[in-house]
Amino acid sequence: MTDVMKEKLVIIGSGPAGWTAAIYAARASLDPVVFEGAGSRTMIPGGQLMFTTDVENYPGFPDGVTGPEMMMGFKAQAERFGTRVFTEDVVKVDFSVHPRRLETTMGKVVEADAVIVATGANARWLGVPGEEHLARTGGGVSACAVCDGALPFFRDQTLAVVGGGDSAMEEAIYLTNFAAKVILIHRREEFRASPIMAERALGNPKIEVMWNTVVKEVLGEEEIRGLRVADTVSGEERELPVRGLFVAIGHEPNTRFLDGQIELKDNGYVQPAEGWRTATNVPGVFAAGDVMDDYYRQAVTAAGSGCMAALEAERWLAHGGIHQPEAAPVV
């Protein structure tokens, strides 16, 4: 018979949101457990920052920091205050019962008084040769222009953005602040972006559009040197010299394991029960980070929402008589 873990607070997922929630929860004596994930081809413990070589826009790091280094620091800080960590995925939940019930890939069964979902979102990739390698090694492939576009590597270079929606327009326009030229690659002959965003992109003198074009391969060993692209009408292929590729074809939140047990937006992201809060429609279940943020998607905002979720969870547990906050020391 499987032993059941009985926990006050379980945090599902790692990354800035999950680890920040763990830090706050552990310091509040909630003795949190983090299931940081088992890892896959496109998502590993620590989240999307584990694929980011240089982070220059997170406060407190004047000289920048690598994404993996930052996440290892977050994790170590959470563990310093007593957070217990399991490198497993939560694959099934039952939020219809209380305590909430969770099951993991390693067969653990967990009963939790409160749960924070911080499973993040996966960037959608093209799936072409060379893309994953250069994204992992920092060789010039990224899924976030706001995160990486200002790095010296991309300045005054010819960069490519793939996509046709509002996100692609925003990424291309943002990159014109740093790049010599931005080539916007779209597989159709018209954008699906809103008219105002499409007009802004088309009207920018630094942006060139390649219609009816798809990327077949990312070229380069250590650093990107170009793309092999194909015309979707004629089938003709050619090499396009660029020094950076930004993939802007959307993100997919990691919410499938929830099996519809909490309210989601139409795009699959968790829907908070109230604006500027992390509580979901299920009492005692909270969400933080990119799994509920389809707008900002930044490390600093994810960390902020992790703090919010931990504070809300602590107050919810206290109000329910499950957790007794420690009295402040007399000084």
Q: What is the pLDDT of residues 71-84, one digit of tens each?
A: 999 999 999 999 99
Distances (CA, A) of 113 to 11, 28, 116: 11, 15, 11
List CB contacts of 229: < 8 A, sequence separation 6 or more.
185, 210, 213, 214, 215, 216, 237, 238, 239, 240
307 in active site: no
Residue indicated by tokens 């600093």: 300
Cα(246)–Cα(147) distance, integer angstroms = 11
**Interval 210-259: pLDDT, tens:** 999 999 999 999 999 999 999 999 999 999 999 999 999 988 999 999 99
What predicted TM-score, i.e. pTM, was given to this entire model?
0.82
CA 159 to chain centre: 23
Report whether pLDDT(329) > 90.
no
pLDDT, mean over the chain: 93
**Interval 165-204: pLDDT, tens:** 998 999 999 999 999 999 999 999 999 999 999 999 999 9
Q: What residues are paired with 237 via a beta bridge?
A: 230
Cα(131)–Cα(134) distance, integer angstroms = 6
Residue indicated by tokens 């992109």: 201
Q: What band does 328 get if pLDDT is binned at 50, 70 and 90? A: very low
Residue 69 structure tokens: 């280094």
Please tell me the predicted confidence (pLDDT) of residue 268. 95
**Interval 61-117: pLDDT, tens:** 999 998 899 999 999 999 999 999 999 999 999 999 999 999 999 999 999 999 999
List CB contacts of 36: < 8 A, sequence separation 6 or more.
13, 14, 18, 45, 46, 75, 85, 86, 87, 88
Domains of the chain: 4-122+252-319 (3.50.50.60), 125-247 (3.50.50.60)
Report whether pLDDT(331) > 60.
no
Q: Which of 89, 144, 290, 293 is catalytic?
A: 144
Cα(53)–Cα(33) distance, integer angstroms = 28
Q: Which of 113, 148, 290, 293 is catalytic?
A: 148
**Interval 118-132: pLDDT, tens:** 999 988 899 999 999
Please tell me the predicted confidence (pLDDT) of residue 48. 82
Beta-strand relationship, 33-35 and 4-12: parallel
Please tell me the predicted confidence (pLDDT) of residue 50. 83
Q: What band does 47 get if pLDDT is binned at 50, 70 and 90? A: confident
Q: Which of 3, 54, 113, 147 is catalytic?
A: 147
Beta-strand relationship, 4-12 and 109-117: parallel
Residue 331 structure tokens: 């000084």
